[in-house]
Structure 1
Amino acid sequence: MRVGVDGSKIPHEATDTPFQILDRAKNYGLEGVYFRTVLDVSPTLDRGLLAEVRQHADDLGLYLQMGLAKVNPYAAAEAPAVRRLGDGDYTHGMIKMMEASSQAAGVTDLWVACANYQKGLPGYYVFDRFRTDAPWTDQLAAIEKFLKLLAPAAREHGVHMNIETHEEITSYEVVRLVEAVGPDVTGVTFDTANVVVRGEDPVAAAKRVAPYTRATHLRDFVLGEQDGVFGRVFATIGQGVIDWDAVLKILHDANPDLPLSIENAGPTLHLPIGLDDPTWTALHPDLNSAEVAEIRRLAADYAQKVDRGELPSLQEMREAGYDGEKMVLESAVHLRGALERLGIASVGSAL
C-alpha cells in the first residue's frame, strides 16, 4: 500500500505544473499522486502531454491516478469545461476525458463524484442532498442513469469510475450505485472524513465500501460545536478521532495494492451533522443507531483529550493556522506507522 497525495491539495498546486507536482510529491518522500481530474493535468486533453506526465511518474516510481468530473446531471451546469470539451455534449466530454486518461496516460481508475460542496450557503444547503428543487432521490436516480450511459465506454476502455464518498452521499448509496451499474466499470474512492457528515462511523463505512474501493482520499477529523452547531472539522491524520489501524486493515484485506492518497485540508471548514434534527434525519433513511452512538462516543473522547491537554481544541486548531506541507508529511508518517504496526509493507518514507 503506497502512500501518496491528492494532486489538487498538495502545497503550491495552483502554480505548479503536473511535472512539478510529481516532483514535489517525490521530494516529500511520497509514492504517488492522485490528480483530481485529467483536466488538472491538461485542460485540452493534450495526449502528448498526458503521455509525458505518465512517463515522468514512472521515472520517479510514483503511482498515478486521475479523475473525470461530476456524474450528477443536476450538477452538470457547474462543470462547463466538460460540456465545452464535448462541443456542447456533457456526456461526450466525459467520454473524451475517459479516452484520454486511459489511452494517453494509461490511467484506468478514475475519480467521479455526485455533487459539489456549495461553499458559502447556510446550514444544510451546503449539501446538494438538501436541494428542494431536485429531491435527493431524483438526483440518485439521475446519477445511476448517467453512470449506465457512460458504462459502455468505460467497458470499452477498461475504466473504473470510482465514486467518491463525498459530503452529500452516504456510503450505502455509493455501494448501491456500484452494484446497480456494475463493479466491472464502477468502484469507490473512499474519503475517510466525509462519511461522518452523513452520520456514519468511518470504520463501519470502510467495511461497506472496502470490496469496491480502488482509490482513496485519506484525512482525519475531530468533532465539536461551532456557534452551537455540532459538526466535523478536518485534522492531520493521527491527530483526529479515526481508528487508522482498523480502517487500513479493512482496506488492505480487501485490496492489498490500494493506493493511499492523503487529501490535506485546513481546520476552518466546520460542516453540520444534524443527528438530533428531524429535518436532517428524515433525509438519512439508512441511519444506523449504533453508528450514531459511535459518533457521539468519538466526540466525547475528543472533548476529554482536549480537557487533558492531549489534543488542541477547535479554536486552538484554527488559531494555529494551516500548514499544508506539515499536514501532508505528518499524515504520511502516521499512515506508515499504522502500516508497520499491521505488518503491511510500505515502499517509501516521509522526509
Structure 2
Amino acid sequence: MSAVLVGADVKLPSPLRSLKGTVEEPWQQVLADTAAQGLDGVLVRTLYELSPTLDAGLLREVADTAAGLGLYLELGVGKVNPYMAAELPEIRRLGDGSYVEGMARMIEAAAAIGCHELWTATGNFQAALPGLHKNDRYRRDAPWADQVAATQRLLEQLAPVLRAHGSHLNLETHEEITTPEVVRLVEAVGPDVLGIAFDSGNVYVHGETAEAAARRVAPYTRMCHLRDVAIVEGPETLDRYLVPCGEGTIDWAQVLGVLLAATPDLHLTVEPAGPRQPAMQIWYDDPRWRAAHPDLDPHELDAVLDCVGAYEHHVRSFDRPDAAALRAGGLFTREEFLRRSAGHLRSVVAAGDHTHPTKEYIR
C-alpha cells in the first residue's frame, strides 16, 4: 500500500509583498520547509500572494520548483461575493479597475502553470463585530439572499473563462454559507466550472454535522479543508473550537468514506488552527439565526447539540481540554495541529484500505 500524502499550511508574513511584487519570505524557503517536514504539497490561498502582478516567469518558477521537490502546488483566487469585494482591492487592481477581470486574470495565470482546481469562498468573518454580525451572512447592509444572487451573477460572468481553461472554482463551505446553498450555486452555474471545497469544521455553525454535510456535497467536492471540532457551552451560546483531526467529535471514517467513494482521487486538505483562535458561535437559540436557516434539518441540529455532551464525555474520559482550556488557547502550534491531524487521517485511510493524498494549504 502506498503512503497517504500530506501537505503543509504555511502562514506568510506581514506585509506579504516586497517592492518587487513577491512574498517577503522567500517562496523557495516555504517549499523547502514543506518538503523537509516530510509533507507533499501546498495550497496558496490567493495567487496574488505569490505575485501581485501575476508575473508569468515567477509563477512558472514556483511551479517548477514545487515539482522538483516532489510537491504539488494548488492555488486560490480570492472571494466571489461582490458585497465584500471592497475588502480585496488587490483583485480589482489586477483587473485595472474590474474585480471580474482581476479574477479572470488569476484563473488564466493559474491555468498557465497547470493549476485548475481553484479555491474560493463567499464571505468573511469579522471577529471584532458583535454577535451574529461577525458573519457576512448577517450583514446589516445586505440581506443574505441578495448576496447569494449577486455571487451567482459574478460566477456566471466567470464561467466562460473557466470553461476555456478547463478550470473549476471550488466554493468553500464557509461560515457564512450552508451546504444546501453551495450545492444550489454549483448546480445553477454548472458543475463543469464550479465545485465545492468541503470544510468539515465550518458546517457546524449552521446546525450541520460534518457527516451529513459530506453526504450532501460529496458529488461536487473537488477540494477539502479538514479539521475536527469541539463544541462547548460558551458565555452567550454554544462555542465551536477547532482541534486536530481525531481529537473532537467527527467520525472520520464516515466522512472520508463518503468523500472518497464519490471522488476516489480527491486530495484531502488539513487546515490547522494556531495556538490562539476565537470561538465561533452556533446561535441556535436566536430567532434571527433560525429565520436565516430555512434549510435547517431539526434532527441534524439535534445531532450538533449532542456534540456538546459527546465532547464532554471525551474530556472526562480521555483528558481532552475542557472549555476553559480551549478559551485560554496555547494547546498546540499549527505544526502540532498538522502533525496530529495527519497522523489520524492516515490511520483512518489505512484502515479503510485507501491510498488517497492528504494536503494542506498556505493561508
Q: 1:284 to 1:348 in 2, by over 3 A?
A: closer
- Say if 2:99 is the partner of 1:90: yes
Contact kept in structure 2, 1:3 and 1:259, CA below 8 Å: no
Farther-moved stretch of structure 1 (24-33 vs 310-319): 310-319
* Corresponding residue of 1:289: 298
User: How many residue pairs end up in the alignment?
Assistant: 346
Deviation at 1:9, TM superposition (A): 7.6
Deviation at 1:322, TM superposition (A): 4.0
Q: 2:127 is aligned with what amino acid?
A: K
The 1-side partners of 2:258 and 2:39 are apart by 22
1:63-96 Cα offsets, whole Å, 9 max, x none, are 2110111111111100000001111111111111
* Corresponding residue of 2:316: 307
Unpaired runs of 5+ in structure 2? Answer: 17-22
Contact kept in structure 2, 1:6 and 1:36, CA below 8 Å: no
Q: 2:68 aligns with which of 42, 52, 59?
A: 59
Q: How does 1:76-225 map to 2 (within 5 A)?
A: 76-103=85-112, 105-225=113-233
Give secondary structure in 1 for the equivalent of 2:246: coil
Q: 1:45 aligns with which of 54, 62, 77?
A: 54
Deviation at 1:229, TM superposition (A): 2.1
* Corresponding residue of 1:3: 6
Q: 1:246 aligns with which of 239, 251, 254?
A: 254
* Corresponding residue of 1:29: 38
Unpaired runs of 5+ in structure 1? Answer: none
Give secondary structure in 2 for the equivalent of 1:112: strand
Contact kept in structure 1, 2:133 and 2:140, CA below 8 Å: no
The 1-side partners of 2:151 and 2:10 are apart by 25
Q: 2:345 aligns with which of 332, 335, 344?
A: 335
The 2-side partners of 1:38 and 1:257 are apart by 24
Deviation at 1:166, TM superposition (A): 0.6
1:161-203 Cα offsets, whole Å, 9 max, x none, are 0001110000110010000000000001111100111110111
CA RMSD of superposed structures (Å): 1.9
1:188-225 Cα offsets, whole Å, 9 max, x none, are 11111001111101111001111111111111110012
Farther-moved stretch of structure 1 (18-27 vs 177-186): 18-27
Q: 1:236 aligns with which of 234, 240, 244?
A: 244
* Corresponding residue of 1:298: 307
1:241-291 Cα offsets, whole Å, 9 max, x none, are 111111111111111111111111135321111112211110000101121
Give secondary structure in 1 for the equivalent of 2:319: coil
**Scaled by the length of structure 2, what TM-score is found?**
0.91
Deviation at 1:138, TM superposition (A): 0.5
Give secondary structure in 1 for the equivalent of 2:306: helix
Q: 2:271 is aligned with what amino acid?
A: E
Q: 2:232 is aligned with what amino acid?
A: G
Q: 1:265 is aligned with what amino acid?
A: A
Contact kept in structure 2, 1:9 and 1:264, CA below 8 Å: no
Contact kept in structure 1, 2:266 and 2:356, CA below 8 Å: no
Task: State the identity %.
Answer: 46
Q: 1:271 is aligned with what amino acid?
A: M
Farther-moved stretch of structure 1 (319-328 vs 210-219): 319-328
Give secondary structure in 2 for the equivalent of 1:308: helix
Give secondary structure in 2 for the equivalent of 1:88: coil
Q: 2:352 is aligned with what amino acid?
A: L
Contact kept in structure 2, 1:9 and 1:265, CA below 8 Å: no
Deviation at 1:312, TM superposition (A): 1.2
The 2-side partners of 1:347 and 1:283 are apart by 36
1:96-133 Cα offsets, whole Å, 9 max, x none, are 11111111x21011111101111211111111111122
